[in-house]
Amino acid sequence: MRTWTRRQWVTAVAASAGIAVVIGLVTALIPNPLFMRMIEAPWWSYPVWLVSAVLSGLLIATYVAPGGRGEPERSQAHGRRSIAGAVLSFFAVGCPTCNKLVVLALGTNGAITWFAPLQPVLAAGSLALLAWALRARLRSARECRIPVDRSPVTPGRR
């Protein structure tokens, strides 16, 4: 990340802020009139929410080409870890009884009895997956640098 361009840092900050706002609003960690929590958020939800937003933003920035030219390389393995980490963090900080999928699968009683105690494990797993994916993306970017031709392109010349 020491070699990142301004463009990559701006992307990281903007993506982190956007993800934090979206997850915060949907999980009602940010009070809003559209979504309400039935159960108060535990203290650890707030740091997990913010750290997962920052890790996700940094991860998104790794997909931005440093010079603005050319396509960055894509990796499905890193992408799957990223998506899994983001989804797990959403489930980890969300209200157990407000989540329609959890209530449908376990019922309200099951959501409180089984899912709520599992949320800290989901939180740790989500942060681990996001950190692992970020580390892998940064390592592959450092080890697989592709030289970029900065010479001007002239018509008729190949």
**What single letter denotes the amino acid at residue 111?**
A
- For the chain, what percent of residues have pLDDT higher than 90? 37
Domain range summary for the chain, segments of one domain joined by +: 6-143
What distance in Å separates the CA atoms of residue 30 and residue 20, rounded to the nearest whole number?
Answer: 9
Cβ pair 92, 123 in contact under 8 A: yes
If you search the block for the tokens 């609003």, which residue do you land on?
Answer: 25
**String of b and e for 9-40 (b: at least 16 CB within 10 Å)?**
eebbeebbeebbeebbebbbbeeeeebebeee
Tell which residue, 136, 11, 29, 132, has the closest CA to residue 90.
29
pLDDT score of 148 more than 60: no
Mean pLDDT in residue range 95-119:
82
pLDDT score recorded for residue 70:
47
pLDDT score of 123 more than 50: yes
Tell which residue, 128, 84, 89, 102, has the closest CA to residue 39.
102
Mean pLDDT of the chain: 82
Lowest-confidence region among 32-46, 79-93, 115-129? 79-93
- Of 144 and 73, the structure prediction assigns the larger pLDDT to 144
pLDDT score of 107 more than 90: no
Looking at mean pLDDT, say which of 46-55, 83-92, 147-156 comes out highest. 46-55
